[in-house]
Chains A and B, each alone.
Chain A
């Protein structure tokens, strides 16, 4: 099984002062599934981790990516699917839309995020999202 990975989870995991840090870190420690993101989400992770944690934190993110702690997926029809979803949910933006498209590709409703906007969206198959770790 796989879990779609949103930007905010990585920030909460890395930032020991974030109010969701303990929740996210505890959940990740027990997780035995791949965390999969899109390149759009990775660009956001890179920006936020660098902004909030500096060079060393960004280097840690890059090393985690290199080591395979996060899987990054992009596929032939990803952009068209992302744009189609973004037009249906203009509040979401392209990154969130790409994660919805990824959930469709992976056939999973499970998404690691603390962004409650995903409760108002469904997977491309029409399933409500399961937001982790909140819904665990």
Chain B
């Protein structure tokens, strides 16, 4: 493992020690696990594409105000 030194506020240092003790871990191990979780890249879900095909020739760039007529009226 690579050794790294960082400065911590005393309050944060105390809180880390308490949380580590609560979980039965050394402070170093708790910090390692926390950092590993923080840098893990979540799998990004891609949104759906081409779900329908409109037939009225409207463009969301040009005609959004027309499309939004009636919003909130139901």
B6 interface residue (CB < 8 Å to A): no
B60 touches A8 (CB 8 A): yes
Report the stretch among A9-17, A82-90, A103-111, A120-128 that lies at the interface: A9-17
Report how many residues on chain B are interfacial, defined by Cβ distance under 8 Å.
23
Specify which chain A residues have a CB less than 8 angstroms from the CB of B54 in the assembled complex: 15, 17-18, 52-53
A8 touches B48 (CB 8 A): no
Find the residue from B57, B67, B72 having the highest chain A CB count within 10 A.
Answer: B67
A18 touches B60 (CB 8 A): yes
Find the residue from A19, A28, A54 having the highest chain B CB count within 10 A.
Answer: A19
Report how many residues on chain A are interfacial, defined by Cβ distance under 8 Å.
39
Specify which chain B residues have a CB less than 8 angstroms from the CB of A7 in the assembled complex: 64
B60 touches A114 (CB 8 A): yes
When chains A and B are docked, how far (Å) is the Cα of A53 from the Cα of B61? 17
Specify which chain B residues have a CB less than 8 angstroms from the CB of A60 in the assembled complex: 48, 51
- Checking A15, A25, A67, A114 against B52 with a beta-carbon cut-off of 8 angstroms, the contacting residue is A15
When chains A and B are docked, how far (Å) is the Cα of A57 from the Cα of B49? 10
Find the residue from B49, B50, B61 having the highest chain A CB count within 10 A.
Answer: B61
Within 8 A of B (CB), among A1-36: 7-8, 10-21, 25, 28-29, 32, 34-35
- The residues of A with any CB-CB pair to B shorter than 8 Å are 7-8, 10-21, 25, 28-29, 32, 34-35, 44, 47-49, 51-54, 56-57, 60, 63-64, 67-70, 114-115
